[in-house]
Amino acid sequence: MAKRGDLSFKGKIAVYSILIIFSFFAIYPILRVISISIRPGNRLLSKSLSFIPQGATFESYRRLFFEEPFLRWLVNSLFVSVVVTIISVVLAATAGYAFSWYKFPGRNAAMLGIITTQMFPVTMLLLPLFIMLIKLGLYDSYWGLIIAYSATALPFTIWQMKGYYDTIPFSLEEAAVIDGA
């Protein structure tokens, strides 16, 4: 007797066929981009549909990794993203905890302010943030970029952390305090 959820051989074939078709739709654009990237410079606008174009070359990749300062740009992006992540997680974890567990004057107004900032696109902040960074002397520096990214990420991360802390039962924290935490 078949259990609930068991598929017959034909059912498995149908499921896998559908998965293969959808995987192809997901992978096809990536393959096209790779195919276009190995075309020679004089054939970039070609309408050929072949995956390996005539005269395929890795010259653009060689130039990217060995002639352009791409690796420097990559290290810069990695540095800024790691620092912003650390700052956002530390500040959001502490702020989310405070908003979740403590009742203090202005708590509801602050939470309303945090959620309200999420309604506006970040592009609205560009000009004021740009002017502020120039006046602070942080324009064209790592710290200016880190401050800008952290300021735009914090409202969302605080809201997410508060939601997470709201799911933790109070009895768990009481037990931790009794155990010496």
For residues 48 and 95, membership in a common domain is answered with no
- Assigned domain for 142 exists: yes
- Assigned domain for 4 exists: no
For residues 87 and 143, membership in a common domain is answered with yes
How many separate domains does the chain show? Answer: 2
- Assigned domain for 2 exists: no
For residues 74 and 155, membership in a common domain is answered with yes
Contact 154, 91 (CB under 8 A): yes
- Assigned domain for 153 exists: yes
For residues 165 and 108, membership in a common domain is answered with yes
- Assigned domain for 94 exists: yes
pLDDT of residue 100: 93
- Assigned domain for 161 exists: yes
Cβ neighbours around 157 below 10 Å, total: 19
pLDDT tens track, the chain, 181 positions: 556 667 788 889 999 999 999 999 999 999 988 988 888 877 767 777 778 888 888 888 888 888 889 999 999 999 999 999 999 999 999 999 999 999 999 999 999 999 998 888 888 888 999 999 999 999 999 999 999 999 999 999 999 999 999 999 988 888 888 888 7
Q: Which of 66, 81, 96 is the last residue of a domain?
A: 66
For residues 101 and 115, membership in a common domain is answered with yes
For residues 60 and 131, membership in a common domain is answered with no
For residues 79 and 60, membership in a common domain is answered with no
SS (H, E, C) the chain: CCCCCCCCHHHHHHHHHHHHHHHHHHHHHHHHHHHHHCCCHHHCCCCCCCCCCCCCCCHHHHHHHHCCCHHHHHHHHHHHHHHHHHHHHHHHHHHHHHHHHCCCCCHHHHHHHHHHHCCCCHHHHHHHHHHHHHHHCCCCCHHHHHHHHHHHHHHHHHHHHHHHHHCCCHHHHHHHHHCCC
pLDDT of residue 5: 61
- Assigned domain for 74 exists: yes
Whole-structure pTM value: 0.71
- Structural domain boundaries, residue 18: 9-66
